[in-house]
């Protein structure tokens, strides 16, 4: 039954990243994860179980005849994480959202189409959802119900990405910065100075790697983090304190640290450029800015700064949000379609043993009911009868399934039923 689909989820909408961690199966080991999920499935009486954990979402999609009430949800999450605040019903009910039946399918579609994401339109969640499915399938946790739900989910997400512009126009400041840099057509041989080696510059360096910039020196307060980026790019890592004595000049400088004071002062900038004028690009992704106002004012370079990028990111996000309405309309329609698909699948499943039953009836007739009469037939008559019986068996097997499909087609599309006995090869 459709209502056997259930979702229990904790997301950025209800809580923060640290609290989400309490609802995750606490292990990094795949084999252990598989056996823990199998244990949860068994102890909670579930037929199928799929698990997805990202940094801002944990989701359990399952099918089963259980009642999705408060005692069950409590028992469920204490099975997921036995260290979870014991007996704290409030804690769970404040954080966990539950969905059942077509609402669960609707939620699944919204996740895959990134309508429910922290950053609307980011397709990463679609990839993560498909990976979670494949992983749980490989653990032997899934069956036909989740298979058809996920098959439909993939189709819906593809349709939303194709028919709306929800995933267009970047909303990441870092990728916007990189795009601006590319517009300048800076050559791959350009000398880059990267100042700061936190999350932001690490992300920036990923884009650099894709575009094969290799003439790079990374400066950072601690050498370990500088080396992380430098190793990735095949670059040189240096302490930030060495920057003032650096004599290699640069074409592009990317600055991003959490310092609240400007790092690139007028004096330092003069030293770095040795007052030699040339076309340079300076990118400052820090908040507050790490390039001092004086430098921006007094020197001539192409400046890419975070404020303009943030404004652009905001406009792009507003554009994506405008596409959400279209995505939701598609999703609602598709949920209705799934209800019919699910019913049809139920009948297909029920019909799946029709061929076996027909074969059994035939054998019973030949070997028991009419055995004595058949034994009296001459070989030619017997051979003819066997051929007729085989023919009848083949022709009869497809009839019930086609009749059901036609009835559905008629019911939902108003078309005439097309049921007819399929032609055998010899008749065609």
Ligand X SMILES: NC(=O)c1ccc[n+]([C@@H]2O[C@H](COP(=O)([O-])OP(=O)(O)OC[C@H]3O[C@@H](n4cnc5c(N)ncnc54)[C@H](OP(=O)(O)O)[C@@H]3O)[C@@H](O)[C@H]2O)c1
Give the residues lining the site for ligand X (CB under 6 A): 173, 196-200, 220-222, 225, 240, 256-259, 285-287, 306
Name residue, tokens 């943030």: 310
34 or 256, CB closer to ligand X? 256
In contact, 48 and 145? CB cutoff 8 Å: yes
63 or 200, CB closer to ligand X? 200
Closest residue (Cβ) to ligand X? 198
CB of 310 to ligand X, least distance (A): 8
CB of 12 to ligand X, least distance (A): 15
DSSP assignment of 205-246 equals HHHHHHTT---EEEEESSHHHHHHHHHHHT-EEEEGGGGGG-
CB of 25 to ligand X, least distance (A): 27
**Residue 119: is it exposed, middle or buried by C-beta count within 10 angstroms (0-12/13-18/19+)?**
middle
For residue 310, list its beta bridge partners.
none
130 or 206, CB closer to ligand X? 206
In contact, 109 and 334? CB cutoff 8 Å: yes
**CB-hemisphere CA count at 13 Å for 73?**
23
175 or 346, CB closer to ligand X? 175
In contact, 281 and 301? CB cutoff 8 Å: yes
39 or 55, CB closer to ligand X? 55
108 or 285, CB closer to ligand X? 285
Structure tokens belonging to residue 311: 């404004």
Name residue, tokens 């990405």: 161
CB of 229 to ligand X, least distance (A): 9
9 or 220, CB closer to ligand X? 220
317 or 354, CB closer to ligand X? 317
Task: Give dist(CA 71, CA 98) in Å, integer.
Answer: 13
Of 258, 158, 142, 244, nearest to 193 by C-alpha is 244
CB of 289 to ligand X, least distance (A): 9
Q: What are the backbone angles phi and psi of residue 110, rounded to the nearest 5°?
A: -65, -35
Name residue, tokens 């949920």: 335
How would you label 181-194 residue by residue, b for 16+ Cβ within 10 Å and e otherwise? beeeebeeebebbb
**Residue 274: is it exposed, middle or buried by C-beta count within 10 angstroms (0-12/13-18/19+)?**
exposed
Question: What radius of gyration do the chain's Cα atoms show?
Answer: 32
DSSP assignment of 7-71 equals EEEEETTTS-HHHHGGGS-----HHHHHHHHHHHHHHTT-SEEEEEEETTEEEEEEE-S---SHH
CB of 185 to ligand X, least distance (A): 24
CB of 180 to ligand X, least distance (A): 14
Q: Which residues are CB-neighbours of 358 under 8 A, at least 6 positions away?
A: 393, 396, 397
CB of 198 to ligand X, least distance (A): 2
- Sign, Cα dihedral of 13, 14, 19, 22: negative
CB of 306 to ligand X, least distance (A): 6
CB of 242 to ligand X, least distance (A): 13
Structure tokens belonging to residue 335: 């949920």
284 or 323, CB closer to ligand X? 284
114 or 257, CB closer to ligand X? 257
194 or 324, CB closer to ligand X? 194
CB of 221 to ligand X, least distance (A): 3
């Amino acid at each position: 039954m459709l209502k056997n689909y259930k979702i229990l989820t904790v997301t950025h909408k209800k809580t923060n990243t640290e609290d989400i961690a309490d609802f995750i199966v606490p292990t990094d080991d795949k084999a252990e994860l598989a056996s823990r999920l199998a244990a949860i499935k068994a102890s909670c009486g579930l037929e199928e179980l799929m698990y997805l954990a990202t940094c801002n979402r944990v989701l359990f999609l399952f099918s089963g005849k259980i009642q999705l009430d408060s005692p069950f949800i409590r028992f469920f999450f204490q099975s997921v994480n036995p260290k979870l605040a014991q007996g704290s019903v409030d804690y769970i009910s404040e954080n966990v959202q539950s969905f059942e039946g077509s609402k669960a399918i609707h939620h699944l579609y919204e996740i895959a189409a990134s309508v429910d994401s922290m950053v609307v339109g980011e397709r990463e969640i679609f990839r993560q959802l498909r990976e979670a499915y494949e992983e749980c399938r490989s653990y032997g946790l899934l069956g036909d119900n989740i298979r058809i739900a996920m098959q439909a989910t993939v189709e819906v997400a593809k349709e939303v990405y194709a028919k709306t512009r929800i995933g267009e126009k970047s909303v990441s400041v870092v990728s916007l910065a990189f795009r601006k840099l590319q517009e300048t057509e800076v050559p791959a041989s350009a000398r880059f100075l990267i100042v700061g080696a936190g999350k932001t510059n690490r992300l920036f360096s990923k884009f650099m790697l894709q575009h094969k910039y290799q003439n790079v020196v990374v400066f950072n307060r601690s050498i370990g983090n500088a080396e992380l980026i430098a190793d990735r790019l095949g670059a040189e890592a240096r302490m930030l304190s060495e920057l003032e004595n650096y004599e290699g000049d640069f074409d592009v400088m990317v600055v991003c640290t959490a310092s609240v004071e400007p790092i690139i002062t007028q004096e330092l900038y003069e030293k770095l450029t040795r007052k030699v004028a040339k076309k340079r690009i300076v990118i400052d992704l820090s908040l507050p800015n790490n390039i001092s106002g004086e430098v921006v004012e007094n020197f001539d370079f192409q400046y890419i700064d975070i404020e303009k990028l943030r404004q652009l990111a905001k406009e792009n996000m507003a554009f994506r949000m405008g596409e959400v309405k279209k995505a939701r309309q598609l999703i609602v329609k598709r949920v209705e379609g799934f209800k019919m698909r699910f019913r049809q699948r139920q009948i297909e499943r029920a019909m799946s043993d029709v061929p076996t039953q027909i074969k059994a009836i035939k054998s019973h007739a030949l070997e028991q009911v009419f055995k004595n009469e058949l034994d009296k037939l001459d070989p030619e008559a017997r051979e003819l009868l066997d051929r007729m019986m085989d023919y009848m068996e083949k022709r009869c097997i497809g009839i019930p399934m086609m009749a059901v499909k036609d009835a559905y087609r008629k019911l939902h599309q108003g078309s005439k039923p097309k049921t007819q006995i399929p032609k055998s090869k010899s008749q065609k």
